[in-house]
Amino acid sequence: MNIQNDTENQINDNLEQQAQALYKSWFVDFEPFKDGEFEESELGLIPKGWSTGNIYKYINVIYGAAYKSNLFNENKEGYPLIRIRDLKTFSPQFYTTEVLPQTEYIKSGDVVAGMDAEFIPCLWQGETGVLNQRCCKFVGKDKEINNLFVLHLVKPELEYVQSYKTGTTVSHLGKADIDRFIVILPDEAIVHQFSKICRPLLDEQNKCAAEIRRLTNLRDALLPKLMSGELKINEIDC
């Protein structure tokens, strides 16, 4: 199971690299638009008709809610509570049955980032959960905007904030930092075209993530039985 799990992780990494390379080709190097006209902007030359501005033209930012810690449980009652530490493992330790007016559900493939210590965004690969305080979610303003576009639009900005806040005791990301992001804003039709191309990549990443979760749950269920002798290795059918 570990070998298959590693294979799925490698496939996911490869898909992410493909998406990153495609984004760079379109929106950093402008390769599909080389034969067109360019114009000056505050971020340098960009294809004519594009603009620069904050991320809110295409993206909404949703902030996590403050759940009561005395209502946390480890019995898997309610929804997984997605905290900053879970953004690396995709395996929340705590669950909550609490539902707040501002509860935000996170599903596989959503773009999330922590707001303390480390701000690098990622595609959530765990099961559906609720977003805790000091985490945020970046989501396209319309359903045609793929999360791979969202991820790679905000990632350089978050990395920049991370770089200049490094060295403080504990670095924090605030709404004011996000409000100051200035990015290249392609024409809406171009964003939709790119998103359509990326859709199969994200779908495949979500499939790999689901398989990884299945194998991890299977391992966790079988390992105690194997160690106790209740189950023998030749009796396992994956």
Query: pLDDT tens digits for 46-99?
Result: 999 999 999 999 999 999 999 999 999 999 999 999 999 999 999 999 999 999
Q: Which helix (H) or strand (E) holds 221?
A: helix 188-228
The rounded percent of the chain whose pLDDT value lies above 70 is: 87
State pLDDT tens for residues 184-215. Answer: 999 999 999 999 999 999 999 888 878 877 87
φ, ψ at 116 (rounded to 5°):
-135, 135
Superfamily of domain 2-225: DNA methylase specificity domains (3.90.220.20)
Task: Rounding to the nearest 10 degrees, give the CA dihedral for residues 25, 28, 30, 31.
Answer: -30
pLDDT of amino acid 81: 98
Average pLDDT over residues 25-49: 98
Q: 144-160: buried (b, 16+ CB within 10 Å) or exposed (e) per residue? A: ebbbbbbbbbbbebbee
Distance CA(22)–CA(26), nearest Å, equals 6
pLDDT of amino acid 3: 45
Residue 103, CB-side half-sphere exposure with 13 Å CA sphere: 16
User: Where do the structural domains in the chain lie, given as residue ranges?
Assistant: 2-225
Instruction: Give the lowest-confidence range in 2-6, 7-11, 162-166, 217-221.
Output: 2-6
Distinct helix (H) and strand (E) counts, the chain: 5, 12
